[in-house]
Amino acid sequence: MKADWLIPTFLVIILVVTAAITITSRMWMLDVHRDLQTAEKKHTKLLDQKQALEIELVSRTDLNYTERLVREKLGMRAMRHDQWQVLPK
């Protein structure tokens, strides 16, 4: 007779512990998913920046682009033919 309450109490304790473990693991999984999503966004942003920098590098090594940029920003013009000087060896 005294053991009648022992089995239901034990089952309730197991149920409560199982529910606590399930909720904790679910919350942990959501936190990890959020961190992974943030890392993927940062990775994508860095890839976009890398591609933009590669395009800028190619355009900056283009002499026509550099010459045009210098003429626009500094107001420089091409030298006249009588301004050229040949340096001796």
Residues 32-59: tens digit of each pLDDT = 999 999 999 999 999 999 999 988 888 7
Instruction: Please report whether residue 1 resides in a domain.
Output: no
Which amino acid appears at position 31 of this protein? D
pLDDT at 1 over 60: no
Task: Give tens-digit pLDDT for 12-37.
Answer: 999 999 999 999 999 999 999 999 99
Range of the domain at 59: 6-72
In a domain, 81, yes or no: no
- Entry pTM: 0.52
Does residue 39 lie within any of the structural domains? yes
Q: Does residue 78 lie within any of the structural domains? A: no
CA triple 49-51-55, angle to 5 deg: 115
Whether 82 maps to a domain, the answer reads no
Residue 89 lies in a domain: no
Question: Considering the domain boundaries, does residue 36 fall inside one?
Answer: yes
Number of domains in the chain: 1
Handedness of CA 16, 22, 25, 28 (dihedral sign): negative
pLDDT exceeds 80 at position 81: no
Q: Does some domain include residue 66?
A: yes
pLDDT > 80? residue 76? no
